[in-house]
A = this chain, B = another copy of it.
Amino acid sequence: MSKLRFNITMTLDGYVAGPNQSVENGLGEGGERMHDWVVPLKTFREIHGDEGGGETGTNDDVLRESFENIGATIMGRNMFGPDRGPWGDEPWKGWWGDTPPFHTPVFVLTHHAREPLVMKGGTTFFFVTDGIESALEQAKEAAGGKDVSLGGGASVAQQYLAAGLLNEMELHVVPLLLGGGERLLDNLGSGVKLEPLRTVEGPGVTHLKYRVVEKGASGTDGQRADPPKV
């Protein structure tokens, strides 16, 4: 069965982006350092179109696995770009240039309709305005039996976790504190049940992989606010 899989780099204090995200600083202040472990890797270079070179080893094996058997991608608009509200006359085309590193159909959750955007290298951005379940249905259809990758960010991941729609989550935990920004595992109460699948220790990062075995926001402070209108 096609699974929804999520992997993301998280600091030890739980952040997946630093404070004050902007066009110049898409991962927020201090956020770029989170990705020091991934940028030199062979697989990272390959998906970004840099053939040849790059590090192999444990971290590369984990990263490569995260792209295996992925047929479609879902992300929130906050991950797609820094702007908010209506798209305007010269709409944002993503952080990633002409050839984004997804190489699959990408379903972007937004409250503002927009025509699909065809990029090079197999990525087409589709803009989904009718919610996370619809996006997942469309993504599974597009994936043709393969798995769907949830790209992020934190808010969208929380929505899929709370709805019980996420099947696997791998956190690449880096030994940094950011002290502010977007915290991944907030707004979820105590209702999400996880089962450890494996731990892999790589240079400068620990990979913690879980199966999500039970859904749902619960507990005294588990009521999620409405998702932001972006």
Contact = CB atoms under 8 A, between A and B. Distances in A.
Interface string A211-226: 0000000011110000
A194 B176 contact: yes
Copies in the complex: 2
Nearest to A204: B196
A198 interface: yes
A172 to B, nearest CB: 12
Given A194-B175, A204-B196, A206-B199, A188 B13 contact: yes
Interface stretch (A84-92, A136-144, A177-185): A177-185
B199 A176 contact: no
A195 B175 CA distance: 7
A208 interface: yes
A188 B178 CA distance: 8
B189 A177 contact: yes
B13 A186 contact: yes
A173 interface: yes
Contacts of A195: 175
A81 interface: no
B13 A175 contact: no
A40 B222 CA distance: 30
A221 B189 contact: no
B13 A185 contact: yes
Given A210-B175, A221-B180, A198 B201 contact: yes
Given A13-B14, A173-B208, 10 more contacts: A13-B186, A14-B14, A14-B183, A30-B219, A177-B188, A180-B189, A180-B220, A180-B221, A196-B201, A206-B208
Interface of A: 12-14, 18-20, 29-30, 171, 173, 175-180, 183, 185-186, 188-192, 194-196, 198-199, 201, 204, 206, 208, 210, 219-222
